Structure 1
Amino acid sequence: MPDTAAVTLSGGAVVTSTRREEVSSRIRRALLTGELRPGQRIKEVHLAEALGVSRPTLRESLQQLIHEGSLVQVPYKGVHVAQPTAEELRDVSEVRMPLETMAALRLARDPHGPAMRGVREALDVHLAAIDSGDDLQAHVTHLALHQAIWDFAESPTLRKIWPLVGTQVQIALTLDQAVRHDPERDAVLHRRLVQVIEEGDEATIVAEVEEHIRRSVDEVLRRLT
């Protein structure tokens, strides 16, 4: 594949009323499938032609994805697919582990309460997306499940921190999906994570959250090196 992005992004011209979101979804799917690679430059004219949209509409979508962290604006070099270093990926996991553990332990205090039911519903939505075979929806619901763990922990601090951490988590999950496509294993791991939280054993929760996060990062790094 050339260094500049000249992808087809199957589906033809965008004709829906929500053009920006449709374009963003097509680009997200290309990121998940590896059609757009980490570090690759986004060539606006190619993408606009492939999607059948104006360049201003495309730029709106690119700005949305830059805000999400999937793309980065490089001074004097244009827009590129985010390419976090190994050190950055490990750093995000080290920051994330104690915070997500804190959220899980808070949820475990009331395993049958409304907060835990909310997490269980997020898991069910994620599992349904996996079963559907829609990789993009599975990715979206994967991130939403982890956000639900933070949100339903009912910690104002965690809710404030999530937008910053969540952007980095999204990048890590996108890389994970692109280099290791194993939906069946994904379903097993997330069922177990939620089950461990529901069972409420503190030591097991701490170990499971750490293993869940560290395993994902280690596998991405192994495949990228």
Structure 2
Amino acid sequence: MPSLDEDIAWFKFLLEADRFAEGDYFDRVPAIASLIGLCGLPGRRLSSLKRRDFDLEPGTAHLNLVEPAWQARRIPIVETARIVLQQQWRRAPNQKAEAAFLQNVSGGKMGGQQIFQHFRDASRLLGRPDVTVGYLHGLYIRLVEIQRTPSNGRAIAQLCGRVIDLVPGSEHRSPDVAELRRLLEAALPLAKPWRLLTHRVVRRGQADTAENNLRFSWLGLKD
């Protein structure tokens, strides 16, 4: 079984998957990986996301989950995720606010099974067929739970998507977005972007040896 460090290194690779593939086959993989591994969304929520749900302003970026109403909440978007999601935002064929965030090539909504299959196929082609949507969400939960202390249980619960029951009039409060952001930045090793995330450009058609060296570089073994 891969170690935690190996999983994190592979997650880093997924966040740059669109940098080396021909065409648009891997274009959505970094966004899917970011939403699950950096924002903590379970796979079943991805197909319902709309462009209007995202605020991608630097420093205050967040995601507004409004459906279902009983689980409405604001999720902080760390800087690495903001960069990746902004790329997806800009390349979407349908730019309307009501359009789905994850779109197919014609601008239509990607269904849940389509998203799962797309990610599964990409992971298989990239060499880690075991890294499914559920596997990546489990990695996020593991990293966040490591930060648990007696005083931040509610914040951990909210970041992990659990419903927080607040007693009316009690002193307990729901953690704000800034507090959740600080906790995520401490929990996620890839929360802050690295130089090569936005500057590495890889061309296809290189020799196998050179391509393997680049893959090791993405995994953090060379830089």
When the two structures are superposed, what TM-score results if normalisation uses the length of structure 1? 0.26
| Structure with the higher helix share, 1 or 2 | 1
Considering Cα pairs closer than 8 Å and 6+ residues apart, tell me whether 1 or 2 has the greater RCO.
2
